[in-house]
Amino acid sequence: MSEPSPKDPAPAEDAESEPRPGRVRKPIGWSTIIIAALVAVSAGLVWRRDGTDGVLEILTHDLSLFGGILPRVLAGCLLGAFISEILPHEKVSRALGPKSGLKGLLIGTAFGAILPGGPFTAYPVASALLAVGADFGATIAMVVSWTLIGYGRAVAWEIPIMGTDFTLWRIVISLPLPVLAGALGRFVYVRLYPKPATKDDEN
């Protein structure tokens, strides 16, 4: 995505006055409530089984994990914000929008495969792409590609634990899946929501 778009330099004032497609910030939603309840019940069960020591042991371990992840979450949020700011809306709609065809799915797949980092990068960036005009199909291709053929998790976890042979073989098997998932997503989306494209056509 490091395409500096030399032919339309987008003067600063212009870029600033342009209404930014803001991302939705949900308050504490039902998914948070469900997970909180799940955590509370699990912690209660751990306490009944292992006592206070067991609860504290998991807590300290996960707190240190959380501390390690925080900077990466910040990096992911910044990456998403910068990308949604610098990618021109019309170009993204053309390259990754509903009418982008197989090429759009391939671009989404390539993008997901080269994206560095973990879930803390992939989801903010995917959300930014949706906000600047990518359709569900291309975004699905990107997310599925990141999770199945992206090198981040493979290098950090899968190769050390499952071995190089299995991992490479599994990635080869997964190669066609992001494009297929994106195509299926587009196919279903158009039939579920027959008239969504017109709203996004004006920039």
Partner 1 sequence: MSAALLIDILLWGSVFGVGLIAFRRGPPVFKASLREGSMDFVNIVPRIALGVIGSGYIAAIIPQEVISGWLGPDSGWLGVATAVVAGAATPGGPVIGFSIGTVALKSGGGVPQVVAYVVAWALFAFQRVILWEIPFMPARFVWFRCAVSVPFPFVAAAIAMLIGKP
- Selected from 19, 34, 89, 96, the binder of partner 1 by CB under 8 A is 34
CA 195 distance to own-chain centroid: 25
Closest approach, Cβ 103 to partner 1, in A, equals 20
Beta-carbon contacts of 43 under 8 Å, excluding residues fewer than 6 positions away, are 55
For helices 30-86 and 119-131, angle between their N-to-C axes, nearest 10 degrees:
70
Which residue has 């071995």 as its token pair? 163
CA 55 distance to own-chain centroid: 32
Name the DSSP class of 21. Answer: -
The residue range among 22-30, 89-97, 98-106, 195-203 that interacts with partner 1, by the rule CB under 8 A, is 22-30
The residue range among 94-102, 104-112, 143-151, 194-202 that interacts with partner 1, by the rule CB under 8 A, is 143-151
What whole-number distance in Å separates Cα of residue 159 and Cα of residue 140? 25
Beta-carbon contacts of 161 under 8 Å, excluding residues fewer than 6 positions away, are none
Size, binding site for partner 1 by CB under 8 A: 96
Closest approach, Cβ 57 to partner 1, in A, equals 9
- Selected from 36, 99, 103, 203, the binder of partner 1 by CB under 8 A is 36
SS3 162: helix
* Cβ–Cβ < 8 Å for 145, 111: yes
Q: Which of 182, 184, 192, 199 is nearest to 126 (CA)?
A: 182
The residue range among 91-99, 100-108, 123-131, 195-203 that interacts with partner 1, by the rule CB under 8 A, is 123-131
Nearer to partner 1, 75 or 106 (CB): 75
Nearer to partner 1, 49 or 198 (CB): 49
By CB under 8 A, residue 56 contacts partner 1: no
By CB under 8 A, residue 83 contacts partner 1: yes
- Selected from 100, 132, 158, 179, the binder of partner 1 by CB under 8 A is 158
User: Which 164-193 positions form the footprint of partner 1 (CB under 8 A)?
Assistant: 165-166, 168-170, 173-174, 177, 180-181, 184-185, 188-189
